[in-house]
Amino acid sequence: MTEMVLVWIVAPIFLVLLSFGVGLLPASLVRKQINFAVATALGFLVIAIFGSLLTISTVTAPYTAQIIAVLSALGLGVGFIRMRSLIRFEFASIWAGLLTYLAFGSPIIASGAPSWAGWVKLDDPATFLAITDRLMSVGRTTPDPVTSTYSRVIQTIFDPVGAGHFSYPVGSFMPFGVTTRLTGIESAWFFQPYMALSAGIVAMLFVLILRRNISRKIALVLIGTFAAMASTIYSYVMWGAIKEIVILIPITLFAITIFEPARNRERQEVYLYSFIGALGMYFIGGAAGLGFILPIFFIAILVKMFSKNQLIAYGMLGVLGLAVAVVTYFLRAGNNAIANILIPIIGDTGNLSRPLKLRQVVGIWPSQDFRLDPIHPLLTTVAILVASTFTVAGLYFSIRKGSWIAPSLFVATSAVVANSYLWGGIWLTGKAIAVASPIFLLCAGIGAIELWKFFRNNQMPIVGIAKFHHLIIVLVLFVGSGVFVSNLMTYKNVWLAPFTQVDELRKIGQKFAGQRPALMTEYSVFGSRYFLRDMDAEAVSELRVHVIPTRDGNQVPKGFAADIDLFDSSTIDYFKILVLRKSPTASRPLLNLKMSS
């Protein structure tokens, strides 16, 4: 129970305060009114940026967490001295963030033990834990020599082609790593709370976008929460995917800061906050991630030009259209620099058994697994059509009111989905669809509210006393139910990591640290890649350094386990310790080896 309180209450609150403090530093430079949600998101991104830079050097990497803590303390001190009257706490935003946090954390919280979702469904969380541990201890270095599954994973990520340079974006891991280092909690236990907290920050930002269309706080909270809980992104988080939810923070913040302050003519705020949003996007998503930012930037320029000189604006729009046509031509040609920079092509389907349906971008998909067809195709199609109608209405009313935040987000994410679908491959398309799904529901929420207000003001009847705005309420409940049922089905089919087993691996890794090398015959990516990293562990069916064949000369396929008796003694003499699963039917280990189980 104590660990649950630490990882689900204490650590998240600590990260929020840490981010808020760091976010007050840039806010104190401009000394303009700032919302708590914007300050927290700004600080989150500054941590991602500074953390990525500090971990470049092996000298500063071990002190990254302490440096961020000092910056946060400085921000809290200076911010409250200089900006106490300028900080705005919007409770609708905070409530939406809290509800979203609980919704994304509910499967693990309900289990009563620290764990994470996506067990045996996705290997990536084990890799993320390994990367974070490496970054926070010795920075962006590749182990030399490579002696274990852990070091092989680090080599694969940090130096995939042996070029001696680092290109993998690590910004999404930095707030996570800083928090675990400063609090001393086990990284694996904080993995799911961290993703849930990221979703909560997204919901808080959504409320800031919605408040121009919605005045009632309960509607703000509900729509902001449901938009952040789009079924596709919810399913990806329950799969253990971290970047898809974290990447929504810089995208949304960039759109808010480039349009909202510009409307109020606060140039310093626009330049500084937007720069932090774009830079945060780069360090979290890499160069290709800027594809989310550029459309928003171009729309902001066009809107500004249209307000000053429409002739020049139309000329710029024509030039932009020509540039898109040229880039599209080169993308279609393939095998060129533009294609490699803008749309990295990943031919591997990963854990996707097939391409996701494009209509999953709407965020309604009631299925036991988002890779499968929905259980009620007709009802799902109707719900998607209704939500799409609301989305179109939301775009129309937003543009008509001169509110470009939601439309720019819609255009940016739709463009990335389209590009990934045409050129990026199945795996990237799935990621793009997941990132775009909350934006579609956000626009749908705006459309539903605006249609309700329009029909209520016009009092248009349907039958008898029933009015069109009554129908809108029914349709909103229908769409909301679609999102709720989709996530409920995901919730019921979440695979949680078995706490007892992984905690035992953690204890083994600590108890036998430094006693190396070790061998695992069980398929356990979290054991070999992370928990047993200080034992130079290798797994027979995982990434490894040595060839570990069975007696018949074959190797154990990925994902399978093997009895220790299937291996010749000469094959495993190299290993000084065995880590085996307890079983009454398993063979006894060799006498010249230590065993841990």
Say what the pLDDT of residue 287 is: 83
Alpha-carbon torsion (260, 263, 264, 269), positive or negative: positive
State the pLDDT at residue 590.
Answer: 61
- Please determine, for residue 166, whether its predicted confidence score (pLDDT) is greater than 50: no
Separation of alpha carbons 255 and 199, rounded Å: 17
Domains of the chain, by residue range, sit at 2-492, 499-596
- SS3 sequence of 525-566: HHHHHHHCHHHCEEECCCCCCCCCECCCCCECCCCCCCCHHH
For 358, the token pair is 């494009």
What is the pLDDT at residue 324? 67
Does residue 223 contact residue 387 with C-beta atoms inside 8 Å? no
Residue 209 has pLDDT above 70, yes or no: yes
Contact at 8 Å (CB) between 21 and 75? yes
The answer, yes or no, to whether residue 463 has pLDDT greater than 80, is no
Q: What is the mean pLDDT of residues 471-488?
A: 94
Instruction: Tell me what pLDDT residue 310 has.
Output: 64
The single residue listed with the structure tokens 């065995």 is 578
Using only C-alpha atoms, the chain has a radius of gyration, in whole angstroms, of 25
Determine the 3-state secondary structure of 487 from DSSP.
helix
Q: How confident is the model at residue 165 (pLDDT cuts 50, 70, 90)?
A: very low
| Sheet with 594-596, edge to edge strand ranges | 537-539, 518-520, 577-579, 594-596
Task: Quote the pLDDT of residue 290.
Answer: 86
Top-ranked range on mean pLDDT: pick from 213-217, 247-251, 542-546: 247-251
The mean-pLDDT minimum among 139-148, 264-273, 453-462 falls in: 264-273
Is pLDDT at 363 greater than 90 in this prediction?
yes
Higher pLDDT, 260 or 128: 128
Confidence of residue 176 (pLDDT cuts 50, 70, 90): very high
Question: Please, what is the angle between helix 36-54 and helix 248-263, to 10°?
Answer: 130
pLDDT of 164 higher than 70: no
- pLDDT value of position 318: 75
Max distance between CA atoms of the chain, in angstroms, equals 88
| Contact between residue 341 and residue 412 where contact means Cβ atoms under 8 Å apart | no
Report the distance separating Cα 60 and Cα 137, nearest Å: 10
The larger pLDDT score, comparing residue 440 to residue 241, is at 440
Give the pLDDT confidence score for residue 329 in this predicted structure: 64
pLDDT in tens, 429-452: 999 999 999 999 999 999 999 999
pLDDT at 162 over 50: no
Mean pLDDT computed over 36-46? 96
Q: Find the mean pLDDT for residues 169-183.
A: 96
Q: For the chain, what percent of residues have pLDDT higher than 70?
A: 88
So what's the pLDDT on residue 560? 85
Supply the DSSP symbol for 315.
Answer: H
Confidence of residue 361 (pLDDT cuts 50, 70, 90): very high
